[in-house]
Structure 1
Amino acid sequence: MSTYEVRRSAVIPAATDDIFPLVNNFHEWAAWSPWEKVDPGMSRRYFGPESGVGAGYEWSGNRKAGSGTMEIVESIPASSIMIRLQFTRPFKALNPTTFTFVPVSGGTEVTWLMTGENKGAAAKLFSLFLNMDKLVGADFDKGLASLASAVAAKKQS
């Protein structure tokens, strides 16, 4: 069984207290998630509390968006958020995802980390031809840039 990791970091010129709520609440992801615009007709359902541990999000979209669920399993204010990310389509996968927030000179370093395993013959074959870092790494970069823009917009409103 092979494992993979996709990790991207960016310094966002804002305090952790300004950034954290936009990740800790799935309702806020529409403003910055790189996948929200993949399928304008995508169906979404939120469950559990609005934010923090137990908050969840379920989506089902076109071939590119796929379908799955996300649930916050750990939320340490202004420090880290752990998400159970489970895809059901185009293939089944469980991808633990973590966001960490570290104050640095000039703002907050936000790191987005997703891990996973290539289980089963189809996934292993898929991994021979597609590198997960190349597949979603650019989306993480776009998402972090959009998160910075969303934080700036919220501070101005």
Structure 2
Amino acid sequence: MLEIIGAGVALVIAIILVLAARQPDICHIARSIFVAAPPERIFPLIDDLKAMNEWNPFATQKGVSNVYSGPERGVGAADDFSGGGSAGRIEIVESTEPSQVALSLRMDRPMRCSNRVEFTIAPQNGGSLVTWDMKGRQPFIGKLFSLVMKPEKMVGGAFEQGLSDLKRLVETAREEAAE
């Protein structure tokens, strides 16, 4: 009887490992939002990490601390963060005013990984389309974790919240300036 139970447990573990191994090697998440403002009004809130952390849901969590280094904005600006169960570093590696900011994200906790994060700001009639895009290699432990908690759902929701907060911040400032 114990042999049958042991074989059953081994089979379940093997199935889980095979399913994890079949998950994509690259994790890619992207969200976009229309903001009723020109790119020049949005860009400074992304190219400056302190300003970004006013609307970034990963930074606004209770207990998150940030240590900034490098220039105040643009290439080389960096933020070493910890708290809320995560720790790592994000650094601006490309900055093309007013249309694009690319960042290198290194996570140390809850699991080690490296991602490229890009914000693009495309002018559109009456405003701008802002896209938050992240991609990186998914380690095996990440693949295993994604069987239970889908990164697309978990991180995608945070991207949506952040973009919504950015939109509100930019559009509220525009309304206040018009008054």
Q: Which has the higher strand share?
A: 1
Q: Which has the higher contact order (CA 8 A, sep 6+)?
A: 1
What's the CA shift for 1:36? 2.5
Matched, 1:23 2:46: yes
In the alignment of these two chains, the number of paired residues is 153
Following the alignment from structure 1 to structure 2, what is the Cα–Cα distance between the partners of residues 108 and 4?
Answer: 26
Superposed CA RMSD in Å reads 1.4
Rg larger in 1 or in 2? 2
Determine helix, strand or coil for the equivalent of 2:53.
helix
Following the alignment from structure 1 to structure 2, what is the Cα–Cα distance between the partners of residues 11 and 134?
Answer: 21
* 1:82-124 alpha-carbon deviations (Å, 9 max, x no partner): 000111111111010000010001200001100122113x222
The TM-score with structure 1 as length reference comes to 0.91
* 1:13-58 alpha-carbon deviations (Å, 9 max, x no partner): 001000000000011023211122322x322100000000000111
Provide the residue aligned with 2:58 in structure 1.
35
Contact 1:11 1:106 in 2 (8 A): no
Equivalent of residue 146 in structure 2, options 113, 121, 127: 127
Determine helix, strand or coil for the equivalent of 1:129.
coil
Equivalent of residue 85 in structure 1, options 87, 100, 105: 105
Q: Which residues in structure 2 correspond to 1:29-68 (within 5 Å)?
A: 29-39=52-62, 41-63=63-85, 66-68=86-88
Structure 1 runs, 4 residues or longer, greater than 3 Å off: none
Following the alignment from structure 2 to structure 1, what is the Cα–Cα distance between the partners of residues 32 and 87?
Answer: 26
The TM-score with structure 2 as length reference comes to 0.81
Provide the residue aligned with 1:98 in structure 2.
118
What's the CA shift for 1:130? 2.2
Q: Which has the higher helix share?
A: 2
Determine helix, strand or coil for the equivalent of 1:50.
coil
Provide the residue aligned with 2:165 in structure 1.
146
Following the alignment from structure 1 to structure 2, what is the Cα–Cα distance between the partners of residues 20 and 38?
Answer: 23
